[in-house]
Amino acid sequence: MKIFKKSDIILIFAVLFVAGIIFAISSLEKGPPVAHIIVGGEEYKAVNLVDIPEKQVFILETHPETIIVCEKGCAYFSSAGCPDKICVKTGRLTKKGDTAVCLPAGVVLTIEGGEYDAVTY
């Protein structure tokens, strides 16, 4: 059987195109980056990452336990009790759309709102 048929190439480019469009649309919205902590489907906390004076640590009573840190310009899982720790390995989230998830704990950390380059004051 042939490896690449015409329909394959079309499929590949179609998928890449769709991915690009989704990415472009999600990057459009402007606003200060806000970190949303969602636990069990409900929003637990929204933290504005632009005007945050110092580090904020959230210890979530989830099973397994997860700890989220919000500081100026970024948010991230600092530790989690799940076996894979994919959430922690995701690292720092800085711009809109950046997301880290701990499935066993049911926690989603995501950045919404666009990214200003800067705010003048």
Q: Which residues bind another protein (CB under 8 A)?
A: 1-5, 7-8, 11-12, 15-16, 18-20, 22-23, 26, 30, 32, 36, 38, 40-42, 48-51, 72-73, 82-84, 86-87, 89-91, 94, 97-101, 103-104, 106-108, 110, 114-121
User: Which residue, 29 or 59, has its beta carbon nearer to another protein?
Assistant: 29
Taking the C-alpha atoms of residue 121 and residue 119, their distance in angstroms, rounded to an integer, is 7
Cβ within 8 Å of residue 70, ≥6 positions away: 35, 47, 49, 52, 55, 56, 57, 58
Sheet harboring 42-48: ordered strands across? 42-48, 34-39, 107-112, 99-102
For the bound state, the minimum distance from the C-beta of residue 63 to another protein, rounded and expressed in Å, comes to 12
**Cβ 7 to another protein shortest distance, Å:** 6
Give the shortest CB-57-to-another protein separation in angstroms: 19
> What SS3 class is residue 86?
helix
Peptide bond into 64 cis (omega under 30): yes
Taking the complex as a whole, the smallest distance from the CB of residue 70 to another protein amounts, in Å, to 13
